[in-house]
């Protein structure tokens, strides 16, 4: 595909697009699934909201560019981050030919410190299933991201990246119920989740308004493929 020779030979008729990454960042705030948007400042989409993103640096891999963008907007490192899809229709950005590699990220709400950056007019969380009309082809990106996240939560352990380090089984179940939007049987849920052996029960308890609940933590906080539900 790619030796320098053929680049030279074809470069007149072939495109040489800009390459950007866009990151769809989800979090849970009080069991509401939210998604981070930035407001575009300039160009024909000025005023519209979009997923944060930016050009890939000359010495950067795509993953690094996505990590950097995630870090710059939220201050979060080591969250779950996965390449989603690459969008490249010539007309997706009317201003220029741009290919966008989209990423999906899951972050724990508590750890986020939003950072607007001068290139955007604003930044903020929006309910994930009620996003406004977005700039570029980002409506499509958002639909795909939501679909992927919903399905992936069921066969990978990536919830760990949405939760703080300690949580109750009730909270964990609430996460699944929110994202899959259906309710789950408590006894079956606990049986299944505990049988996976992913959690350790801590000594502590969460004391709330009522009976205290045992706190749990993930034994390993890295992505693994497995049947969750």
Number of residues counted as binding a copy of itself (CB under 8 A):
56
- The Cα 96–Cα 90 span in angstroms is 8
54 binds, among DNA, a copy of itself, none (CB under 5 to 8 A by kind): a copy of itself
Q: Do residues 186 and 223 touch, judged by C-beta distance below 8 A?
A: no
Q: Identify the CA nearest to 83 among candidates 139, 153, 22.
A: 22
115 binds, among a copy of itself, DNA, none (CB under 5 to 8 A by kind): none
The least CB distance from residue 37 to a copy of itself, in Å, is 12
- Binding to a copy of itself (CB under 8 A) within 15-34 occurs at 15-22
Of these, 36, 56, 134, 149, which contacts a copy of itself (CB under 8 A)? 56
223 is an interface residue for a copy of itself by CB under 8 A: no
- Binding to a copy of itself (CB under 8 A) within 75-134 occurs at 83, 85-90, 93, 95-101, 119
Angle at 126 between CA 29 and CA 165, to 5 degrees: 25
**127 vs 208, beta carbon nearer DNA:** 208
φ, ψ at 48 (rounded to 5°): -75, 155
203 binds, among DNA, a copy of itself, none (CB under 5 to 8 A by kind): none
The least CB distance from residue 139 to a copy of itself, in Å, is 14
- The Cα 169–Cα 213 span in angstroms is 8
Burial of 23 (C-beta count, 10 Å sphere; 0-12/13-18/19+): buried
Number of other residues whose CB lies within 10 A of the CB of residue 30 = 8
- The Cα 53–Cα 25 span in angstroms is 11
Candidates 2-10, 47-55, 154-162, 210-218; binding stretch for DNA (CB under 7 A): 210-218
- Binding to DNA (CB under 7 A) within 159-188 occurs at 168-170, 185-188
φ, ψ at 197 (rounded to 5°): 70, 25
Of these, 8, 113, 211, 220, which contacts DNA (CB under 7 A)? 211
Burial of 71 (C-beta count, 10 Å sphere; 0-12/13-18/19+): middle
Q: Do residues 85 and 92 touch, judged by C-beta distance below 8 A?
A: no
124 binds, among a copy of itself, DNA, none (CB under 5 to 8 A by kind): none
Residues that bind DNA (CB under 7 A): 168-170, 185-188, 190-192, 205, 207-214, 227
Where do contacts with a copy of itself occur on this chain (CB under 8 A)?
1-7, 10-11, 13-22, 40-46, 50-62, 83, 85-90, 93, 95-101, 119, 136
């Amino acid at each position: 595909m790619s030796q320098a020779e053929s680049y030279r030979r074809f470069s007149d008729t072939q495109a040489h697009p800009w390459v950007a990454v866009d990151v769809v960042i989800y979090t849970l705030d009080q069991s509401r699934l939210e998604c981070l948007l930035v407001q575009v400042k300039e160009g024909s989409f000025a005023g519209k909201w979009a997923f944060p993103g930016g050009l890939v640096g000359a010495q950067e891999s795509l993953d690094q560019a996505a990590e950097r963008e995630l870090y710059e907007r939220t201050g979060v490192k080591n969250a779950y981050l996965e390449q989603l899809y690459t969008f490249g229709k010539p007309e997706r950005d009317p201003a220029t030919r741009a290919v966008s590699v989209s990423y999906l990220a899951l972050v724990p709400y508590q750890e986020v410190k939003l950072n607007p950056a001068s290139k955007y007019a604003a930044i903020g969380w929006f309910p994930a299933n009620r996003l406004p009309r977005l700039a570029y082809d980002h409506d499509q990106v958002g639909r795909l991201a939501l679909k992927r996240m919903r399905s992936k939560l069921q066969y990978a352990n990536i919830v760990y990246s949405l939760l703080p380090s300690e949580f109750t089984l009730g909270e964990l179940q609430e996460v699944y119920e929110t994202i899959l939007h259906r309710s789950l049987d408590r006894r079956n849920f606990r049986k299944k989740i505990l049988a996976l052996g992913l959690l350790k029960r801590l000594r502590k308890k969460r004391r709330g308004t009522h009976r205290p609940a045992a706190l749990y933590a993930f034994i390993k906080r890295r992505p693994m493929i497995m049947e969750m539900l």
